[in-house]
Chains A and B, each alone.
Chain A
Amino acid sequence: MSIIIISADTGEIEEIIAQKVAETMGFTTLDHHILAEVASAHGIDPDQLDEALKTTPSLFKKMTAKQWRYALSCLEAEVLDRLLKDNIVCHGVAAHLYVTGVSHAMKVRILKGKNRVIKEIVQHRGLSLEKTERCCAAELEQRKKWSMAAYGFDETDLSQYDLVINLDQIDPEEAVRTIAGAAEYRKFQVMTYSMKCLSDLALAARVNTVLLDSMTDINVQSHDGSVVVTAKASNRQKRERIALIKEMAGKVDGVRYVEVHVK
């Protein structure tokens, strides 16, 4: 019983490995296919949500920072909610950046390497080797910038992962077996504490989404149904803002107590 979160240097590798791991383990996959559902549930343009996962507002001029943050928050809330069900292989929804402190979520990073797999990507993309390498390097740099802007983590920092596999040294079939084997370790199994951590993250994300619909600069932490919201407001608006946050957050299912700090 665990969650496997896979992130790779390129989307193609990520998808192939994630699907094979899910098949091997009999797990379900949680991936970009949920974007349409999330967009529809929150009234967001599906293309905008897809774009929000790839670019930052400064690069994607059609989306404001507020819309970008809201779109990501909707996705995060939905993904966290689904991860509560367990036995899932998750990829392509940035979960490696916001599922933090959950001991039964094993995070895996797949490195494409420079030899074997790059040739397959060349074939898949129909580009020259040189151009493919340039594209991959640019994509990696873009992901790094995006992850820093969206969640304050550099997704290329390998110290963030529980398992790192270099496809130059381990072929994809071996990688799948390695991931499936590691996921069986006791340390990645569900315990009361780790489920609680995940429920707390999910509740904080739900509250965050509700508040971000009409506000900005919000930080939400949750513990066992108690929610602490940090927000910004001028002295004149402080009282109203606190009351509004308490009212909105208090209506979210699972919230028992709301504390608000306005700076």
Chain B
Amino acid sequence: MAKPLEVLLLDDEPIVGRRLRPALDKIGCCVEVFEDPEKAVARIDEKEFDIVVTDIRMEGLDGLQVMAHVQKTWPRTKVIMITGYAKIDLAREAMGKGVFDFIAKPFRPDDLRKIIYKAAEALGIPMESSSSGSGPGPVEH
């Protein structure tokens, strides 16, 4: 059996973690959810995650600062940003600083799953449903 993909999910809105954790569990990810960026960063110091999914706007540390910390600590880790305040400037800034992908809220869990499959492929970690490279089909509202 393939090693599960280790994912840290950080968003200060509890609903995001509650909604996304089962969606990622379902595709074989091992997910740790955080609402406090300081606690997430402390956990990142202890453990190398394959993927960090982080909100951008949060109290205390913002997503770009979290990404800088991840890049310094674990350069191999892929960072995916999710935000409700997406604009072209922010998207370009995040991309320029090395984010793996950037997605605007609201999105469907399947949208994130597709990005997770792409990140797993880039990491060379095989995932069963990503063998075709396209991930699962669209999920209706």
Question: Which residues of A are interface residues toward B (Cβ below 8 A)?
Answer: 101-103, 185-189, 191-194, 196-197, 256
Ordered by A's residue number, 17 sampled pairs between the chains whose C-beta atoms are within 8 Å are: A103-B92, A185-B96, A186-B96, A189-B95, A191-B95, A191-B103, A192-B101, A192-B102, A192-B103, A192-B111, A192-B115, A193-B103, A193-B104, A194-B88, A194-B91, A196-B103, A256-B141
Which B-chain residue is minimally distant from A162 (CB atoms)?
Answer: B92
Q: Within the complex, what minimum Cβ distance (angstroms) separates A108 from chain B?
A: 15
Q: How far is the CA of A185 from the CA of B102 in the complex (A)?
A: 16
Cβ A187 vs Cβ B111 within 8 A: no
Please tell me if the beta carbons of B101 and A187 are within 8 angstroms of each other in the complex: no
Most chain A CB inside 10 Å of its own CB: which residue of B91, B93, B102, B111: B91
Cβ contacts under 8 Å, A256 to chain B: 141
Q: Judge whether B98 is part of the interface by a CB distance below 8 angstroms.
A: yes
Judged by a CB distance under 8 angstroms, whether B61 is at the interface is: no
Interface residues in chain B, defined as those with a beta carbon under 8 Å from any beta carbon in chain A: 86-88, 91-93, 95-96, 98-99, 101-104, 111, 114-115, 141
Measured in the bound complex, the distance between the Cα atoms of B20 and A173 in whole Å is 50
- Give the chain B neighbours of A196 by CB distance below 8 A: 103-104
Besides the contacts A186-B98, A188-B95, A196-B103, what 4 more A-B pairs have beta carbons closer than 8 Å? Answer: A103-B88, A103-B95, A191-B103, A197-B88
Distance (whole angstroms) from the CB of A151 to the closest CB of chain B? 17
Name which residue of chain A comes closest to B96, CB basis: A187
Chain B residues contacting A191 (CB-CB under 8 Å) are: 91, 95, 99, 101-103
Which of A101, A102, A187 sits near B95, CB closer than 8 Å?
Answer: A187
**Sorted from nearest, which 7 A-B pairs have the closest CB atoms?**
A187-B96, A187-B92, A103-B91, A191-B102, A192-B103, A193-B102, A187-B95
A56 to B: closest C-beta gap in Å: 28
Q: In this complex, what residue of A is CB-closest to B92?
A: A187
Which residues of chain A have C-beta atoms less than 8 A from B96's C-beta? 185-187
| Contact A101 B115, beta carbon cutoff 8 Å | no
Residues of chain A lying within 8 A (CB to CB) of residue B104: 193, 196
Complex CA distance for A102 and B111, rounded to whole angstroms: 18
**Considering the chains assembled together, what is the distance between the CA atoms of A159 and B139 in angstroms?**
40
Measured between beta carbons, the chain B residues less than 8 angstroms from A197 are: 88
Q: Give the nearest-CB partner of B138 in chain A.
A: A225
- Which of B95, B96, B98 has its CB near the most chain A CB atoms (within 10 A)? B95
